[in-house]
Structures are given as structure tokens and as C-alpha cells.
Amino acid sequence: MVSSAELVQLLRAERVMPIIRSTASEDAVAIGRTLIDAGFRVLEVSLTTPGALDAIAELSEDPRAEIGAGTVLTATDVSAATAAGASFMVTPAVTASIEVSAAAGIPVLAGALTPTEVLAALERGATAVKLFPAEFGGPSYLSALRSPLPDAPIIPVGGVDVESGHEYLRRGALAVGVGSPLTGTGPVDLTAISSRAAAFRALASAP
């Protein structure tokens, strides 16, 4: 399992973390494999996906990428996701599962929006903070948030496309989490995902 320090280093290098939500486990696996083949090395699979644990188990067998479990709410979620092979946890808010993960040495990206929530997440042991929903305030809000908290490792999530992703990174985000602007909506189109992946991968080398 990756350590918290290693995950932060990997996210800083990768700059983009795809978030997979699907209506079926097999679709999540197909999307994940396509993204790994495209070069992504850190991926999140939301537990809201039916059969998410099976998808995590399959994808975690690929040594090229670290697979995290998203929408983690409880200690039971942490245990189940860890057993399935998840390398890290992602929460949608400040929950008790943050402390459960931290106590077990499992990296956790904790959802938060306000300065109070960001500090609460970090105090509970979060490896980094998932700024969610980031579209609530956009890149300018990230700048305002980082003014009193310049050292907080923050990953904006929610409505992040290539243009806003570049702006978040320019304003000091550790990385950005990207869902449907990368993976699409409706029927799974792996060719389209591969095409969009190239544009998002380019953010890793953007100034």
C-alpha cells in the first residue's frame, strides 16, 4: 500500500486524478483500464458504483496505478475497500472515517469546502483535502482559501474541465480530481475517453 507521503508525491507529479462513477462494475473496470493505458497513475472508484469493490479489486491488480475508493463514509467502508485492494480512501465530507483510515496508516483525501472544514479534516489526519464542490467558488475561491492556509494540500473536485483544471493548478492546487468531463456521461465510449484523456494528461506538463 502506498504511504501518505508517497501518495502526495504521486499526486503532485500526476496533477490529475480521474474519478470513476458508473452504473456497472464492468463499465468501471473498462473505464479504469482505458485511463491506466492512457497514462494515469492515480484513480478513484466511487463506492456509489454498483459492484465498486469488485472493480477496485480488478483494477488494483494492475501495478501501474494506485486505486482509491471514493465516497467513503464509515469504518465499514474503509475495511471493505481495503480488503478489496484500495490504496487510499476519498471522503465527500469530514467524517469519522478519516480518523479510522489515518489510524490504520491508510492515506485519505477528505472532502471539505470551508476553511473550518479544511482544518478539521487535516486535524483528523487527512493526507490532503478534496475541495468539494469546487465549482461552488471556482479557481478564485481556491486562491482565497489558500491565502490563510498556504501549506494545505488541496485537490479541487467537481466540475473540473481542462481549462479550469489548468487554472486550479496554476493557483496552487496539489492536483485536480476529474469525473464526467473526462469519463463522459451516458453510454460508455472508450474511444472518446481516450481522446479526452490526452487533453487532461497534458496538464501534467502544463506551466
Indicate which residues carry an active-site annotation: 44, 130
Q: Dihedral of the CA atoms 202, 35, 143, 5 (nearest 10)? A: -110
- The C-alpha atoms of residue 117 and residue 123 are separated, in whole angstroms, by 10
Copy the grid coordinates of residue 1.
500500500
Which of 107, 108, 166, 148 has its CA nearest to residue 156?
Answer: 166
Which of 70, 62, 58, 55 has its CA nearest to residue 37?
Answer: 62
Beta partners for residue 46, in sequence order: 70
- The C-alpha atoms of residue 190 and residue 203 are separated, in whole angstroms, by 20
